[in-house]
Structure 1
Amino acid sequence: MQPDVPQKFTFNPKEGIDNPALMISDDPEPDLCPRLCLLKREEGQGFGFYLRKESGCRGHAVQQVAPWSAAERSGLRDGDRILEVNEDFVDNQEYSRVVMKVQASGLQLCLLVLSAAEYETAVCEGIDLMALTRAHRGEGCARPRLCHISREPGIGLGLSIIPIEGERGKYYLSPVREGPAERAGVQPGDHLLFINGVMVSKLTHSALMKMFKKSGEYVTILVIDSRSEESYMRRRLPILPAFASTHNLPHRPKTLHLTQGPQGYGFLLRQEKLTTGHIAHLLREVDPCSPAEAAGMEDGDLLLAVNGEQVENLEHEDIVSRIRQSGQQVTLTTISIQGRDYYTQLGLSPLMFYEECIPQRERFPTNTLPSNNLQCPRLCTLLREDTGFGFKLACSQDECRVYVGQVEAGRAGERAGLREGDVIVEVNGQNVEHVHFEEVVTLIKKGGTSLMLLVVDKDGFEKLRTSGVPITADVSLHSTQVPDSTQDNFV
């Protein structure tokens, strides 16, 4: 038998390739391939990127990924379009909802993204992006479930916890038919992942049983079916409570829609220290028959968000400023102290599973005022970005007046409610009506990363100055203001 000799193939343009196994064809277009980015940050740090919604364009764009940040380490890139946040499809959701989901995700954030070029291709070709994300996850993959179970007399939780033989720290569940656990969303054969915020893979069977017994009248567990668990393992993705659908969770946040009355909104916003040691912003002294009472506000509730934007970690003055900037309408998201304690025990933000619809910006603008209120002074709080505060000053030498000459779209100035032509009345609390342009610029630069401007549009400025009424923030509040040192403000 002769040894194998390498076969030679020749190509004749008239006859083609003499190897029938080979064909010449155009390279196929590469399939769209979403990327999974898992971001992990430290307490007190950000994820290291900006999210932008461009007017008139689809998608939520990633911008300014910071070097060495959690975003960069995860593979997130400038221009990426976000399809999912924590396994939740967001391409068709309002920008403010997506921002809140990111803010409420805790220390870990999972994003499914397409590059800018891939996203543009998908939109132009009419590709179903939701179907694309489902295909990436795999057929039959369901989200984990966060189930809140209340004990009942004679049956307890209605649940058996069975160790999986040969697999340390793994348990499957057997709920009693139509019992408390099954009604709370637990299905036969589910795998148990978390109990009251604690990962069960770190617990022995005896320690797990003790936790269930000491849980009191209720327990909150995270479960998943075995097939879906395999999908997460295949994608090398941890199964986090942030991915869960919820069943029977108590202490839901509330949304309050307030319309300002002649005496303001009728409540006091107070900064207080809770028994846990955490600083919180509480709603106090709700006036009888006020807009606040009519909206369902309760004394002692915690403020979570203003106009759909999370404010728990903001300074007291910044929150008051946001409420004032809303003009005659504002939307507040609140929760009871007991509810906040419940979510703290789970290690979750109460806004993570907040499903009630956040109002449209057109109905309740975040940083704009109704047209009939533009002539009132507005207090605008800006946080410096990498490119500055996002506006340019101009001056009228004849009248010694400094005003806003240009506002950059999507930047800090526009988000804070600045408008071209606004007259600058105060800079960080200092009146600048008769101050020269260069001195105003110096005051702004000295302010550091935060800037508070009291402004009013040109017509309003002229009317107020003619009437002799001092131009202050109180002109637009119609309510009493107490000294800043007490950290209390009526709004």
Structure 2
Amino acid sequence: MEAAADLRDTALLTLKFTFNPRLGIDNPVLSLAEDQDQSDPWNLHRPRFCLLSKEEGKTFGFHLQQRLGQADHVVCRVDPGTSAQRQGLREGDRILAVNNNIVAHEDHAVVVRYIRASGPRVLLTVLAQNVNDVASVLQESDAFLCPTLASGVRPRLCHVVKDEGGFGFSVTHGGRGPFWLVLSAGGAAEKAGVPPGARLLEVNGVSVEKLTSNQLNRKLWQSGDQVTLLVAGPEVEEQCHQLGMPLAAPLAEGWALPAKPRCLNIEKGPEGFGFLLREEKGLDGRLGQFLWDVDPGLPADKAGMKAGDRLVAVAGESVDGLGHEETVSRIRAQGSRISLIVVDPEADRFFSMVRLSPLLFSESTEIAAPPLAETKGLPVEDTVEPSGLAGSRQCFLYPGPGGGYGFRLCCVASGPCLLISQVTPGGSAARAGLQMGDTVLEVNGYPVGGDSDLDRLQQLTEAEPPLCLKLGARNPQGLESWIPLESGEDWTLASELL
């Protein structure tokens, strides 16, 4: 299934051109992903586009790491047999852009949010490690290295509803794709935002680039009275051609969509927020977090929450792939004012069909890290609570989507002391307030500082979450003589699995 999705998406990666032996190749800048020699890293002499797809419950198959002291976001591992490997993502690649957003100098947590908010498909612009090193020496700007589409010049996702004149378009004749649309003046397609002379890329989330005319006509007929088209106008097609950029679905703007995500800003009242969150399977079999028991007259109801809504983001951050406890933790961490992005069952089915995240079409979505909220008096997971020992504090952490807690430990050579040596931005540890230099006093109620710490830590971290840490005062001086604990690799989080 995942390989089939990759094949559909690869068809859109670049515009194909015909080799004329008399004229030669008309645009040597263009290169199909499948035509590149992936075994020769020096052949990857420019930014590449990797269009990744994932099936429900799976990942794209790569690990993202930010190098300490640098703004680079580097692929540190590519899992075999995954979409990332099939689409040519390589260890050492630096990510320059996610979809149409340049992210080279963004915070690590922001880059992770962009990728997760993209849903089942994402377009990455990457630079090979050797090329990145040369570009750094030459001080070439990311705007020069990483082309993006101009504002308003992007593919369109248009939902067309039949009227008395039908869909209002015809398809150029030909035995096989690509196809272009001829519009009827004032017809349904024109009203839905389809531009004149548009190239047809997808029908209801399925690529038509390699379909025959008969297959395309059958698919349009099976759509009934309404159909969702991914199209690119002539100016979009030309700009992508010049930039060597793919006509990819995650770049699309929404036009006349039948449903959109809703942003709910809810302030807690004397009787609470007035809703219940449950993890269950939806109508299409997808596991997610659903909102139920919306009490009439309470804040959630007044904000527009409906029973059966599916939660897709908390404070602008996607909750796709998160477990129930982690989702609850993120809601509680906002305090008495929460911001949720939800979709009703109709919108959920629509975005599932087109294989795109509703967050790509949410005008209210803020990808940047939300401001810290007041959490006084709330039983918040992934947060800090006072401890009975003077100068110490307790932290409760749940593992993130990659299975780790988002921190690394080190041992001070001058004495029996464990310190926090690294905290992954945006991870569970960072949200709980852990900082580099914090001294670890207890783990799940067991004191540390003896010879058997490593064995005990390994046993404790394999236990059921949450992970409870008791931390002492920071000791930055101790980091000058620290020794890394290699045995912690299995349970700390040095990179994000995406």
Is structure 2 residue 438 aligned with structure 1 residue 415? Answer: no
Residue 197 of structure 2: aligned partner: 189
**Amino acid of the structure 2 residue aligned with 1:111:** L
Q: For residue 323 of structure 1, give the secondary structure of its aligned residue in structure 2.
A: helix
Distance of 2:99 and 2:114 partners within structure 1:
8
TM-superposed deviation, 1:269: 0.4
Is structure 2 residue 106 aligned with structure 1 residue 112? Answer: no
1:342-374 C-alpha deviation (Å, 9 max, x unpaired) = 112223332343343316435146xx9679995
Is structure 2 residue 162 aligned with structure 1 residue 151? Answer: yes
**Amino acid of the structure 1 residue aligned with 2:397:** C
Higher relative contact order (CA 8 A, sep 6+): 2
Cα RMSD after superposing both structures: 4.7
Distance of 1:162 and 1:387 partners within structure 2:
51
TM-superposed deviation, 1:111: 1.7
Distance of 2:91 and 2:165 partners within structure 1:
54
Q: 1:382 aligns with which of 388, 399, 419?
A: 399
Q: 2:180 aligns with which of 147, 172, 178?
A: 172
TM-superposed deviation, 1:94: 6.3
Aligned residues of 2:294 and 2:307 also touching (Cα < 8 A): yes
Is structure 2 residue 355 aligned with structure 1 residue 347? Answer: yes
Residue 171 of structure 2: aligned partner: 162
Distance of 2:406 and 2:101 partners within structure 1:
32
Distance of 1:193 and 1:304 partners within structure 2:
27
Normalised to the residue count of structure 2, the TM-score between the two structures is 0.65
1:235-257 C-alpha deviation (Å, 9 max, x unpaired) = 88764322323222232222333
1:115-135 C-alpha deviation (Å, 9 max, x unpaired) = 567657767877553354338
Q: For residue 292 of structure 1, give the secondary structure of its aligned residue in structure 2.
A: helix
TM-superposed deviation, 1:232: 6.0
**Amino acid of the structure 1 residue aligned with 2:157:** L
Aligned residues of 2:290 and 2:308 also touching (Cα < 8 A): yes
Equivalent residue runs for 1:27-106 within 5 Å: 33-39=46-52, 44-52=57-65, 58=71, 60-66=73-79, 70-71=83-84, 74-91=87-104, 96=109, 98-105=111-118
Q: 2:462 aligns with which of 448, 455, 462?
A: 448
Distance of 1:350 and 1:147 partners within structure 2:
14
Equivalent residue runs for 1:293-304 within 5 Å: 293-304=301-312
Is structure 2 residue 420 aligned with structure 1 residue 406? Answer: yes
Distance of 1:64 and 1:280 partners within structure 2:
28
Aligned residues of 1:267 and 1:287 also touching (Cα < 8 A): yes
1:389-431 C-alpha deviation (Å, 9 max, x unpaired) = 624499xxxxxxxx9842622175523525366988884xxxx
Aligned residues of 2:176 and 2:211 also touching (Cα < 8 A): no
TM-superposed deviation, 1:303: 0.8
**Amino acid of the structure 2 residue aligned with 1:285:** D
TM-superposed deviation, 1:65: 4.3
**Amino acid of the structure 1 residue aligned with 2:399:** L
Normalised to the residue count of structure 1, the TM-score between the two structures is 0.66
Aligned residues of 2:120 and 2:355 also touching (Cα < 8 A): no
Aligned residues of 1:407 and 1:414 also touching (Cα < 8 A): no
1:85-105 C-alpha deviation (Å, 9 max, x unpaired) = 234444466655532442354
Q: 2:147 aligns with which of 105, 113, 134?
A: 134
Residue 252 of structure 2: aligned partner: 244
Query: Cα–Cα, structure 1 residues 125 and 70, in superposed 2: closer, same or farther, change >3 Å?
Result: same
Equivalent residue runs for 1:251-266 within 5 Å: 251-261=259-269, 263-266=271-274
1:242-279 C-alpha deviation (Å, 9 max, x unpaired) = 23232222322223334445554332101233333333
Aligned residues of 2:180 and 2:199 also touching (Cα < 8 A): yes
Is structure 2 residue 233 aligned with structure 1 residue 218? Answer: no
Equivalent residue runs for 1:306-345 within 5 Å: 306-345=314-353
Query: Cα–Cα, structure 1 residues 93 and 443, in superposed 2: closer, same or farther, change >3 Å?
Result: closer
Distance of 1:404 and 1:382 partners within structure 2:
20
Distance of 1:173 and 1:89 partners within structure 2:
32
Q: For residue 177 of structure 1, give the secondary structure of its aligned residue in structure 2.
A: coil
Query: Cα–Cα, structure 1 residues 118 and 181, in superposed 2: closer, same or farther, change >3 Å?
Result: same
Equivalent residue runs for 1:422-433 within 5 Å: 427=444, 432=445
Query: Cα–Cα, structure 1 residues 264 and 60, in superposed 2: closer, same or farther, change >3 Å?
Result: farther
How many percent of aligned residue pairs carry the same amino acid?
A: 32
Distance of 1:433 and 1:263 partners within structure 2:
38
Q: For residue 398 of structure 2, give the secondary structure of its aligned residue in structure 1.
A: strand
Distance of 1:413 and 1:343 partners within structure 2:
29
Q: For residue 358 of structure 1, give the secondary structure of its aligned residue in structure 2.
A: coil
Distance of 2:166 and 2:312 partners within structure 1:
34
TM-superposed deviation, 1:300: 1.7
**Amino acid of the structure 1 residue aligned with 2:126:** V
TM-superposed deviation, 1:307: 3.1
Q: For residue 112 of structure 1, give the secondary structure of its aligned residue in structure 2.
A: strand
Distance of 1:125 and 1:194 partners within structure 2:
40
